[in-house]
């Protein structure tokens, strides 16, 4: 027994090497890049109501951001949403939430590697998928392999890479917006486009479900929490800054696009007449590089922007793909440590102290997803078969379908976990608390119900319903991913002789003490001990 404890003590742990700017950069590299991909998809689907779609998704995103801020600061563990749901709702729901977000981060790797090549193709046409599909495919595959190797070397190197590019992009996007609104924005054209190009209810639901793509990525901050020193102080600051930055960018870009260019309808997927932004020269492939095309139309700055925005956009979506590599490996690592996945996934490289097995496994899965997404363009002779499989969607649409499904599913569980943890764990210090709370007593303890948590759950669950209604691939492949995962979960739990639907015993008090101790938040650890002591004294008095 003593030898086992000694071995446990010597087991390599993740290195705390993420600074405050690094924490912001991990979130921005994921969420900030989403507008580069989501803008074109939403404009194509929601037309004159694109800003409304972004507004609805943005309100939900603010609630999501506040929920993650409270949870990640209170429970700074690498599992993120999966760990929160595990603690709040139990093992089976923790697995489902983790498995859904694993789908999201795996698609993140593929989707943004794909989009990186799209943006690069703006300056190097040889990379354009519709012209040279095999070059496009191998370029994206090479990026996935390279990012896997980078993350095996270490989080410090990945964080430094993200930080530099994130700073450059914040400056660039702010410049584009300022000059665009000063010299190109026409309020009358905005009103005209919203009036004459208002979408059907189906298209608005489709656009809203795609708009949530532009706000996915806050999970990255919580994934890096276990590698962030004093996360209870750093995470609330970085998360709040990220929420405001991304919300402003998403709403501003959608309104700027509607106020710069008129619209015209073309026949889209499934025979629907979709409203495509006229800046797209009739080519749906351009949806993947909408920000670059928008920037090129800005007076005075457009000629310069046309040269550097594709490069900057390509680098930013590349680091978002890098965030997918980082996030998927940390989720698998944390789920393995909680006996939700085999112990193989928690193996840490002895030198670099990174979860090498998880990194290789999910980058490999991302490569398989890339192959499936690229099939229609690689083998156009078999388009009849692929038309039935993909329902007329492009590879980018296919990836977006799965991305939206995974995000909406995992976020729904996180809101439920937020409410549950307020009830079952009122003693853990919450240095940041989501605003608007209703005080209640539960099991003789004073706690509160987060109103914005309820609002956020209703909003994200609505987006999940929209996704299932409007995404042919999402409503089949997404639930299938969950079903396969649950079957594998049951097989693993049977092998380990663990309960299927019930939770294994957890010593959450000891876990919370260890989390606070290793994070450097010793003041919060003292507060936690004081709260537990007071609760124990109340129970003894009542008994």
89 pLDDT more than 80:
yes
Pairwise pLDDT comparison (192 vs 216), residue with the higher score:
192
Angle at 193 between CA 188 and CA 195, to 5 degrees: 95
Percentages helix, strand, coil for the chain, rounded to the nearest 5? 75, 5, 20
CB 152 within 8 A of CB 224: no
Structural domain contains residue 458: yes
52 pLDDT more than 90:
yes
For the ranges 5-9, 352-356, 440-444, 488-492, the lowest mean pLDDT is seen at 5-9
For the ranges 55-59, 87-91, 100-104, 228-232, the lowest mean pLDDT is seen at 228-232
What does the H/E/C string look like for 336-380?
Answer: HHCCCCCHHHHCCCCCCCCCHHHHHHHHHHHHHHHHHHHHHHHCH
252 pLDDT more than 80:
yes
What pLDDT is attached to residue 272?
A: 41
Pairwise pLDDT comparison (334 vs 161), residue with the higher score:
334
126 pLDDT more than 70:
no
Phi first, then psi, for residue 301 (nearest 5°) are -100, -15
Residue with tokens 């440590």: 337
Pairing, β 445-450 against β 263-267: unpaired
Radius of gyration over every alpha carbon of the chain, rounded to an integer in angstroms? 23
Half-sphere exposure of 467 (CA within 13 A, CB side): 32
CB 327 within 8 A of CB 154: no
| pTM, entire model | 0.84
173-188 residue pLDDT tens? 899 899 999 998 999 9
Give the whole-angstrom CA distance, residue 224 versus residue 217: 12
What pLDDT is attached to residue 439?
A: 94
Section 400-407 average pLDDT: 86
Q: Which residues contact 10 (CB under 8 A, 6 or more apart)?
A: none
What pLDDT is attached to residue 363?
A: 93
What pLDDT is attached to residue 255?
A: 94
* Residue 46 CA: distances (Å) to CA of 18, 206, 215, 515: 38, 7, 17, 44
Q: Which residues contact 82 (CB under 8 A, 6 or more apart)?
A: 94, 95, 97, 98, 101, 331, 334, 335, 338, 340
Pairwise pLDDT comparison (382 vs 372), residue with the higher score:
372
Residue with tokens 């998809």: 41
What pLDDT is attached to residue 514?
A: 87
CB 372 within 8 A of CB 110: no
Structural domain contains residue 129: yes
How big is the chain, counted in residues? 543
Residue with tokens 């590299």: 29
Domain that holds residue 129: 38-484
Quickly list H helices, 75-198. 81-89, 91-120, 133-153, 155-183, 187-196
12 pLDDT more than 90:
no
What pLDDT is attached to residue 161?
A: 66
Structural domain contains residue 490: no
CB 207 within 8 A of CB 39: no
What pLDDT is attached to residue 4?
A: 40
Left if phi > 0, otherwise alpha if psi is -120 to 50, otherwise beta: which for 65?
alpha
Give the whole-angstrom CA distance, residue 202 versus residue 206: 6
Half-sphere exposure of 53 (CA within 13 A, CB side): 36
Pairwise pLDDT comparison (35 vs 256), residue with the higher score:
256
Question: Which H or E element spans position 6?
Answer: helix 2-10
Quickly list H helices, 47-90. 50-74, 81-89
The CATH number of whichever domain residue 197 belongs to comes to 1.20.1740.10
CB 80 within 8 A of CB 104: no
Q: Which span out of 90-94, 283-287, 381-385, 500-504 was modeled with the highest average pLDDT?
A: 90-94
Structural domain contains residue 474: yes
Tokens representing residue 163 in the block: 């930080």
517 pLDDT more than 80:
yes
pLDDT bin (cut points 50, 70, 90) of residue 220 is low
- Output the average pLDDT for the chain: 82
271 pLDDT more than 70:
no
pLDDT bin (cut points 50, 70, 90) of residue 290 is confident
What pLDDT is attached to residue 280?
A: 43
Pairwise pLDDT comparison (412 vs 330), residue with the higher score:
412
What pLDDT is attached to residue 381?
A: 64
Structural domain contains residue 495: no
Beta strands in 354-484 (DSSP E): 437-442, 445-450
317 pLDDT more than 90:
no
Structural domain contains residue 494: no
Of 475, 476, 462, whose CA–CA distance to 209 is shortest?
A: 462
For the ranges 2-11, 28-37, 196-205, 320-329, the lowest mean pLDDT is seen at 2-11
Number of domains the chain contains: 1
pLDDT bin (cut points 50, 70, 90) of residue 5 is very low
1 pLDDT more than 90:
no
264 pLDDT more than 60:
no
Tokens representing residue 512 in the block: 């919370």
Structural domain contains residue 211: yes
Q: Can you say how many angstroms the Cα of residue 208 is from the centroid of all Cα atoms in its chain?
A: 16
468 pLDDT more than 50:
yes
End-to-end CA distance of the chain: 36
Structural domain contains residue 288: yes
34 pLDDT more than 60:
yes
429 pLDDT more than 50:
yes
């Amino acid at each position: 027994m003593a030898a086992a404890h000694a071995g446990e003590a010597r087991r390599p742990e993740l290195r705390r090497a993420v600074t405050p700017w690094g924490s912001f950069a991990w979130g921005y590299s994921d969420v900030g890049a989403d507008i580069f991909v989501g803008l074109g998809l939403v404009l194509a689907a929601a037309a004159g109501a694109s800003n409304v779609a972004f507004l609805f998704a943005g309100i939900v995103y603010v609630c999501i951001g506040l929920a993650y801020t409270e949870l990640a600061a209170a429970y700074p563990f690498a599992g993120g949403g999966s760990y929160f749901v595990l603690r709040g709702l139990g093992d089976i729901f923790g697995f489902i939430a983790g498995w859904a977000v694993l789908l999201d981060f795996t698609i993140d790797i593929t989707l943004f590697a794909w989009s990186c090549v799209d943006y690069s193709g703006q300056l190097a046409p040889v990379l354009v998928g519709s012209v040279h599909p095999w070059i496009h495919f191998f370029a994206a595959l090479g990026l996935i392999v390279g990012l896997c190797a980078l993350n095996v070397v270490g989080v410090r190197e990945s964080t430094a890479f993200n930080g530099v590019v994130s700073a450059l992009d914040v400056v660039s996007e702010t410049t584009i917006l300022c000059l665009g609104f000063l010299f190109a924005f026409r309020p009358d054209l905005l009103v005209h486009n919203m009036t004459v190009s208002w979408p059907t209810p189906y298209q608005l639901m489709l656009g809203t479900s795609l708009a949530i793509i532009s706000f996915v990525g806050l999970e990255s901050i919580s994934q890096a929490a276990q590698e962030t020193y004093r996360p209870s102080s750093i995470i609330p600051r970085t998360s709040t800054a990220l929420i405001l930055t991304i919300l402003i960018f998403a709403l501003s870009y959608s309104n700027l696009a509607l106020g710069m260019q008129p619209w015209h309808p073309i026949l889209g997927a499934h025979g629907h007449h979709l409203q495509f932004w006229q800046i797209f020269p009739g080519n749906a492939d351009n949806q993947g590089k909408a920000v670059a095309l928008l920037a090129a139309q800005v007076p005075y700055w457009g000629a310069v922007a046309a040269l550097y925005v594709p490069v900057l956009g390509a680098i930013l979506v590349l680091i978002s793909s890098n965030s997918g590599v980082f996030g998927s490996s940390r989720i698998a690592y944390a789920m393995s440590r909680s006996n939700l996945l085999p112990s193989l996934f928690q193996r840490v490289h002895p030198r670099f102290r990174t979860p090498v097995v998880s990194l290789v496994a999910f980058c490999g899965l991302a490569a398989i997803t890339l192959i499936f997404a690229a099939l229609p363009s690689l083998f156009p002779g078999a388009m009849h078969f692929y038309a039935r499989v993909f329902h007329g969607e492009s590879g980018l649409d296919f990836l977006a379908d799965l991305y939206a499904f995974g995000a909406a599913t995992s976020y729904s569980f996180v809101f439920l976990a937020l409410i549950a943890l307020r009830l079952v764990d009122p003693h853990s210090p919450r240095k940041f608390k989501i605003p608007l709370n209703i005080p209640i007593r539960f099991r003789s303890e004073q706690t509160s119900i987060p109103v914005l948590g309820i609002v956020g759950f209703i909003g994200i669950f609505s987006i999940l319903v929209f996704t299932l209604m409007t995404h042919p691939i999402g409503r089949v492949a997404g639930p299938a991913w969950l079903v396969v995962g649950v079957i594998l979960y049951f097989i693993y739990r049977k092998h380990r002789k663990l309960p299927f639907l019930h939770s294994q015993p957890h010593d959450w008090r000891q876990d919370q003490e260890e989390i606070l101790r290793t994070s450097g938040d010793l003041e919060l650890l003292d507060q936690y001990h004081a709260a537990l002591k007071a609760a124990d004294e109340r129970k003894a008095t009542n008994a």
